[in-house]
Homo-oligomer: A and B are copies of this chain.
């Protein structure tokens, strides 16, 4: 057993969207290992003397991701060995593109006393805060969460993306906006209509949150003129309007 390692979802950014359990763990932590996207307001909820260690990834910082994870793992082992209450704080939810499974495996392999606390994923935060229908009676009954990884020079999951969009259901992409123009083009190449809507949601739930709306056909132009700030989510689908303005 030993000291508790809490792998915690911090939600999309607004401190009020933390869960009560996450807040308790942050307030009680001796050390917090946090990502780039965890807001200062959330970090300020920790005890003044809690150690704060930034372990996040910066876009194109050149650091090897496997090395980074090894370093985080070593920190966790060392801090746990000192009897510290450690919070591994991740933006959104730990299990939705958050490497939660990898960190759970590490804790199990090293017989660490761990827990995982889910969070509000930014995608669902965006859907609620901007009123974006992900499913609606009589229209569609599924939603895909994807990243947009490449395999052999193309999007690994392009065929599935096409299947989802053709059915009328939306896809929420957790990916860099730098891939979006290529994705839009590849979808149109597969006979997805250029009229399909694209929502870009930047800095969801934060005070300077901002949203952009386009279509597959004009999103390249919108990206160029509007330059949506990061982090940003992309929702693509026939019915994904913003009901709340």
A-side residues, CB < 8 A to B, are: 7, 9, 11-12, 14-21, 23-24, 65, 93-97, 99-102, 104-105, 108, 116-121, 124-125, 127-129, 131-137, 141-149, 156-157, 159-160, 163-164, 167, 169, 243-244
**Closest B residue to A134 using CB positions:** B95
**Closest B residue to A108 using CB positions:** B243
The residue that A127 contacts in the complex, of B100, B132, B148, with Cβ under 8 A, is B100
Whether A116 lies near B244 (C-beta < 8 A) is yes
Whether B96 lies near A135 (C-beta < 8 A) is yes
Instruction: Give the distance in Å from the alpha carbon of A9 to the alpha carbon of B95 in the complex.
Output: 19
Q: List 23 A-B contacts (CB under 8 A).
A: A9-B124, A15-B20, A16-B24, A17-B19, A17-B118, A18-B20, A95-B127, A96-B124, A101-B132, A101-B136, A116-B128, A116-B129, A118-B125, A119-B120, A121-B124, A135-B147, A141-B149, A141-B157, A142-B146, A142-B157, A142-B160, A144-B145, A157-B169
Whether B146 lies near A141 (C-beta < 8 A) is yes
Q: Which residues of B contact A167 (CB under 8 A)?
A: 156-157, 159-160
Instruction: Give the distance in Å from the alpha carbon of A97 to the alpha carbon of B132 in the complex.
Output: 13
Whether B132 lies near A95 (C-beta < 8 A) is yes
Say whether, besides A19-B11, A141-B149, A146-B142, A160 and B164 are in contact (CB < 8 Å).
yes
Q: Which residues of B contact A119 (CB under 8 A)?
A: 120, 124
- Copies of this protein in the assembly total 2
Q: Which residues of B contact A137 (CB under 8 A)?
A: 65, 99, 102
Instruction: Give the distance in Å from the alpha carbon of A122 to the alpha carbon of B100 in the complex.
Output: 16
**Closest B residue to A8 using CB positions:** B128
Q: Which residues of B contact A20 (CB under 8 A)?
A: 15-20, 23
Whether B243 lies near A120 (C-beta < 8 A) is no
Q: Which residues of B contact A102 (CB under 8 A)?
A: 136-137
> Nearest Cβ in chain B — how far from A66, in angstroms?
9
Say whether, besides A118-B124, A124-B96, A142-B147, A104 and B136 are in contact (CB < 8 Å).
no
